[in-house]
Amino acid sequence: MLDGNSVATLERSVRDRVVQNWISAVEGRGGRARVALQARGRALLEGTEAVLRGDPDGLVDRLRRDPQWGLSAIQSLAEELRQLLLFRAVAMEGIPGLTDAQKEALHSAFDRAAVELAKWFEALARAAGDAQLEAERIRDPSTGLFNRRYLEIALPVEVQRALRYGHPLCVLAVRLDNWEELLGRWGQGVVEEVVRATAEAVQRVTRAVDTKFFVEPDQFYVLMPEANPDYAFVIAERVRESVQASVPHGATVSVGAACCPLHAEDARSLLERAEEALATAKRLGGNTSLVYQPA
């Protein structure tokens, strides 16, 4: 068990179980040799323990001392990120007694580690004159939110976690109702202002454990672990109301929600269901929130 005020080293049985469960998940996808995975697993675990002791930079600091950090000659950034997110999923399920605050701290620490890892790959690509540098980025520079590349990596991992451990996962699909009208009337500068303000509105009313994404030109997604359809609708309404109240130029959004495993059991279908609900909300006139309902 964990003491929320002063977390020391985890019990050995817990440490071993977390690392071994992660290795099994990674090996199932193919990847590094077991000895390399064991070393990486220990580094990830030590960083996790540092975060639980109250050091928000502990995970990144520990991984920076890992000689295999960002070793692109071995595997791609996408696979590095999948392994990172798999460890977060295994740790969140395998460490007993985590408080909500500790879960939020872990979620934030692993998101930061993902960003730092992407920066490392960017640096490698820049040094090599790699023309695909843009593809290695996982954050949208205008909003600071994660982008589609990271969505395509993170969503399958979260769906896998939801199915394996029996915890629900919901996705919100959020789109500006009047993007084309704003662009035609006010121009690109105003549209960019509206997009940034919408991103801020989404972040204000969602949890730290929810992962937020922006996909150009006008769509946002929110991954919500441990959320059921009723809660997803509540947050969808908060997002809609927050945008209506705070984003300039009369901007509004429509929001669609779908949940795993209730509505879908794979990443692509889950996203499609959320977007179907979003499309229905827009057909109803916009500025509306809906949870997916089967036909």
Q: Structural domain tally of the chain?
A: 2
Residue 47 domain-assigned (yes or no): yes
Residue 52 domain-assigned (yes or no): yes
Separation of alpha carbons 72 and 122, rounded Å: 11
Separation of alpha carbons 173 and 167, rounded Å: 20
Q: Does residue 17 sit in the same domain as residue 131?
A: yes
CATH code for the domain in which residue 278 is found: 3.30.70.270
188-222 pLDDT, tens digit each: 899 999 999 999 999 999 999 999 999 989 999 99
If pLDDT is split at 50, 70 and 90, which confidence band does 74 have? very low
The long-range contacts involving 100-107, CB below 8 angstroms and separated by at least 24 positions, are 101/4, 102/2, 102/4, 102/7, 102/52, 103/209, 104/207, 104/208, 104/209, 105/51, 105/52, 105/56, 106/48, 106/51, 106/52, 107/208, 107/209, 107/211
Q: Does residue 132 sit in the same domain as residue 196?
A: no
Q: Does residue 179 sit in the same domain as residue 287?
A: yes
β-sheet with 289-291: strand ranges across: 211-215, 219-225, 169-176, 253-260, 289-291
Domain ranges, residue 251 = 164-291
Q: Does residue 131 sit in the same domain as residue 236?
A: no
User: Can you tell me whether residue 74 is helix, strand or coil?
Assistant: coil
Q: Does residue 170 sit in the same domain as residue 285?
A: yes
Residue 63 domain-assigned (yes or no): yes
Residue 145 domain-assigned (yes or no): no
Region at 125 (left for phi over 0; alpha for psi -120 to 50; beta for the rest): alpha
78-114 pLDDT, tens digit each: 888 888 999 999 999 999 999 999 999 999 999 999 9
113-141 pLDDT, tens digit each: 998 888 877 776 676 665 455 555 788 98
